[in-house]
Amino acid sequence: MAKSPGAAPSALKGRPMKAKASAKPVVVAPTPKTAAPDAPRKKSSLPQFIREVRVEARKTTWTTWKETWITSLMVFIMVVITAIFFLIVDGGLNQAMLFLLNLAGKGA
């Protein structure tokens, strides 16, 4: 069985790790404090909200007419292919059921 990467050899699993002599202490940056989930939200005015919505709307990239047409055509083609597939499968299952019912009807 393959070992997972970074797994310690089984003979060394119970032994404590030796500290390296040249190991430098790791400095961890303080994490930013977040507001409590139940803290009240900062209220904004309606004009400020509308300005923020307009700023975000300007960041939107719209597809071109050609891209929209090609994507719509591909979706239509996939729908037709899927419909044909299910038509064939349904017809095959219908014929199989009729065959089984005919066999059952002849045996009775």
Concatenated DSSP letters for 66-83? HHHHHHHHHHHHHHHHHH
Tokens representing 34? Answer: 């977040």
Per-residue confidence (pLDDT) for residue 79, from 0 to 100:
98
Contacts of 84 (CB under 8 A, 6+ apart): none
**pTM for the full predicted model:** 0.45
Question: 68-100 pLDDT, tens per residue?
Answer: 999 999 999 999 999 999 999 999 999 999 999
Q: What percent of the chain has pLDDT over 70?
A: 63
Residue 84 falls in which region: left (phi positive, over 0), alpha (psi -120 to 50) or beta: alpha
Lookup result for tokens 């050609």: 66
